[in-house]
Chains A and B, each alone.
Chain A
Amino acid sequence: QKEVEQNSGPLSVPEGAIASLNCTYSDRGSQSFFWYRQYSGKSPELIMFIYSNGDKEDGRFTAQLNKASQYVSLLIRDSQPSDSATYLCAGALGGFKTIFGAGTRLFVKA
């Protein structure tokens, strides 16, 4: 069974700190990975995607991919209370089908 695993949390960080969200996947054939943010009662919103080993930065967000270790992470710098949400990690299995993790809840304390 192809899986994407996340720690459900909650992860609690103080305002201004770096939040680190992690994800592992079981299928070595997975090619692209995505991070979504989902506020309570809302739909998932794409933050970033990454398909090459290494880091990809977009504003306060950095996605990291290590295919050898089958590990994806999302760093949020200068965390704000508005970043409090559930973060979903997802992997595309070599095409248009995507497997989602169950999500990690993040709380940023003011």
Chain B
Amino acid sequence: DAGITQSPRHKVTETGTPVTLRCHQTENHRYMYWYRQDPGHGLRLIHYSYGVKDTDKGEVSDGYSVSRSKTEDFLLTLESATSSQTSVYFCAISDAGDSSSYEQYFGPGTRLTVT
């Protein structure tokens, strides 16, 4: 995994509690992304960042917030977890590359269960 770690790797939490997932990269890539992956839906973009303190919403951002205070760290927060947020969460990074292709590289994922 191209220098990307996620923590925790597994978490079980109760409905209504706040949860923060961390993504850390050592590649100095400008762009970072949070996705969730659910059966039948593929990867859906939650939020992304195009620089320190620069973030924007993806297609499924309701109930999630993000922060990026350093190039290497991108945090995803569930303010008040709900059972519908039970999912596998992937962080990804990208940069322009030689051909401006912005191919993304993924972290190992976090499996979150909200009971």
Contacts and interface: CB of A to CB of B under 8 A. Distances in A.
A43 B107 contact: yes
Size range of the chain A interface in the assembly: 20 to 34
Report, as a range, how many residues of chain B touch the other chain: 20 to 34
A44 B105 CA distance: 8
Interface string B34-56: 01000011111100101000000
B101 A88 contact: no
B31 A43 contact: no
B100 to A, nearest CB: 8
Nearest to A44: B106
A45 B108 CA distance: 10
A43 B1 contact: yes
Interface string A13-39: 000000000000000000010100000
A102 B42 contact: yes
A32 B109 CA distance: 24
A6 to B, nearest CB: 8
Given A44-B90, A96-B50, A96-B94, A101 B42 contact: yes
A103 B42 contact: yes
A103 B45 CA distance: 15
Contacts of A42: 108-109
A97 interface: yes
Nearest to B1: A43
Contacts of A98: 45, 102, 104
Interface in B87-101: 90, 94, 96, 99, 101
Interface of A: 8, 32, 34, 42-46, 49, 51, 88, 90, 92, 95-98, 100-103
18 contacts: A8-B40, A32-B102, A42-B108, A43-B108, A43-B109, A44-B43, A45-B106, A51-B101, A88-B42, A96-B50, A96-B102, A97-B48, A98-B45, A98-B102, A100-B43, A102-B40, A102-B41, A102-B42
